[in-house]
Structure 1
């Protein structure tokens, strides 16, 4: 709670105002995001699932997996494992020698995933790891077993390019030469396709964004009038970055009792909540240029909306 309070205060005192996107995910936010993933307009999950479902053999070949050699398949932020299950089923069915290590900050998410996998893929060896990605990887590095890291869902796109480079570089320090990273990213494409994914016709993404203010109201005793703020997404195709804002529709003052401060908003003033970076080959090469990874392969879905890049740890 103290971190939440501190980061909300820092964000609202900044100019321009910001709020961290990680705080979207309370119980209501989690449920809304499940709705988002099932929306007709939200192509991202379906696109990567298309790759894992219909190009499973191509993924296995690109990862250079060998049935005779043991490896660790490690997923960062495994969630419910919908996409990964397609790969896991094939690997188990074809008798590959591996353990699956899902890493997640949420113990609850891991427990649900483990139970689910016991039912769906009974012969799979699952070793759940709860905690920070890098702390867990650091403990696994010492065993020197070959590792395949999965970082899916274009989660890297929530970072600026500079932070993405730092993240991938840090991943490399926790791996050994010959290990691989499967990086799932959303590709740069037309505004007509990207825009509705962040501003759907039913207003689910708007509710998801505005729920952040509702959470601050509940947990930090604030008095945000939710009717006087609106969801405002923006996407610049040339830049390739989708941005989410919460905009004040009027001049107003908001009090946050837990912080002991009031915050002034002008009419039309924006709170920046999230970025969702889109990529192409040139950007990926730029991001990995100063890391210990080289680009080995790119596998796209049937519509070429999404790509899974295979990176080798050099």
Structure 2
């Protein structure tokens, strides 16, 4: 077992300064996932309203054999997972592979060392024979290192993470993946599908306030790591789903006119009453949009694996 670490916060100050200085203030959703944020997200995934997790769990549990058949690797390979989280869903697929005596190495990548430590303990406790090589950091910085691996790869980009990227960013990311993948490599990507708008709204603005806490942790993280003086009682949370374009957008709302000082940047930021900080995009796709995304970035669709409600798909592509 090998763990490689790279800096995940080297651009944090710069990104926060740029985001809070922009005409529409914004904080990248990648900064949700410090150690505390990762724990809160585990709570989100357990909410009854939050359907993506059980839908994808169903796919990987019940259709693992079908996914394995479509991989068509005839030699040992790597399974590289971007944003691995707790790995509970992925574990279903890995278990099927081990049961079928497939030779592979699992390479989970997460921005949180704590999340990786827990993932390793959980995976090895459940699958003691698993070969695992963990990487800690932002997967953008890991892609070049991964490209040097000689064995073929199955890349996992699960949990509808692709939906957090604006259209051009999603295309840029997939193009980057494609550039570093070898011919015959596969990628299994999770896509949240468009459905009843009320179902989506309830998943992203829960009555328990867990999603609000997830967003508020961004303010607390800046206080902890950057010496900011945000007062969370002066901010609220708002989420909106647009069923026309399939976008959920989440915001923090300044409840009063205020100044916030960030000591590590040595700069103050002004907030108007009701001014927004955009924190997250979560795009919901149609099947046609998914297939266009694949072909536009040099991939060939192998198959969509959908849950029984057709709320979600893990789509398998090849280079």
Q: TM-score, structure 1 length as denominator?
A: 0.91
The question of 1:46 aligning with 2:75 is answered no
| 156-165 vs 24-33, greater mean Cα deviation | 24-33
- Pair 1:7 & 2:15 matched: yes
Shift of 1:9: 1.8
In the alignment, is the contact (CA less than 8 A) between 1:162 and 1:287 conserved in 2? Answer: no
In structure 2, the partner of 1:16 is 24
Q: 1:208 to 1:133 in 2, by over 3 A?
A: closer
- SS of residue paired to 1:102: strand
Q: What's the CA shift string for 1:123-158, capped at 9, x where partnerless?
A: 222232344535544344445432211110111111
2:247 aligns to what? Answer: 241
Q: Quick one: which of 60, 66, 76 aligns to 2:68?
A: 60
Equivalent residue, structure 1, for 2:308: 302
Contact 1:134 1:171 in 2 (8 A): no
Are 2:158 and 1:152 aligned?
A: yes
Q: Distance in 2 between matches of 1:139 and 1:260?
A: 35
Which aligned pairs between 1:1-314 and structure 2 lie closer than 5 A? Answer: 3-65=11-73, 69-133=75-139, 136-313=142-319
Query: Counterparts of 2:262 and 2:19 in 1: how far apart (Å)?
Result: 13
In structure 1, the gaps of 5 or more residues are none
More deviation in 153-162 or 212-221? Answer: 212-221
**2:133 aligns to what SS in structure 1?**
coil
Contact 1:144–1:176 (CA<8 Å) still a contact in 2?
Answer: no
Looking at structure 1, the residues matched to 88 and 243 of structure 2 have their Cα atoms a distance apart, in angstroms, of: 29
Q: CA offsets, 1:241-290, max 9 Å, x none?
A: 11110112233333334433332222221111110111112222332333
Given that residues 72 and 98 in structure 1 are in contact (C-alpha distance below 8 angstroms), is that contact kept between their aligned partners in structure 2? Answer: yes
**What number of residue pairs does the alignment pair up?**
311
Give the Å deviation of 1:295: 1.3
State the secondary structure of the residue aligned to 1:232: strand
User: Is the partner of 2:238 in helix, strand or coil?
Assistant: strand
1:289 match: secondary structure? helix
2:160, 2:191 within 8 Å by CA — same for their partners in 1? yes
- Asked whether the 8 Å contact 1:165–1:288 carries over to 2, the reply is no
2: CA distance, partners of 1:31 / 1:107? 12
What is the TM-score when the length of structure 2 is the normalising length?
A: 0.90
Report SS of the residue matched to 1:36.
helix
Contact 2:193 2:287 in 1 (8 A): no
User: Are residues 228 and 111 of structure 1, via their aligned partners in 2, closer, same or farther at CA, if it must alter by over 3 Å?
Assistant: closer
Q: 1:262–1:280: structure 2 CA closer, same or farther, 3 Å change rule?
A: same
Structure 1 outlier segments of 4+, above 4 Å: 134-137
Most deviating of 112-121 and 91-100: 112-121
- More displaced, 235-244 or 108-117? 108-117
Deviates more, 1:165-174 or 1:56-65: 56-65
* More divergent stretch after superposition (47-56 vs 209-218): 209-218
Deviation at 1:113, TM superposition (A): 2.4
Unaligned residue ranges in structure 2 (runs of 5+): 1-8
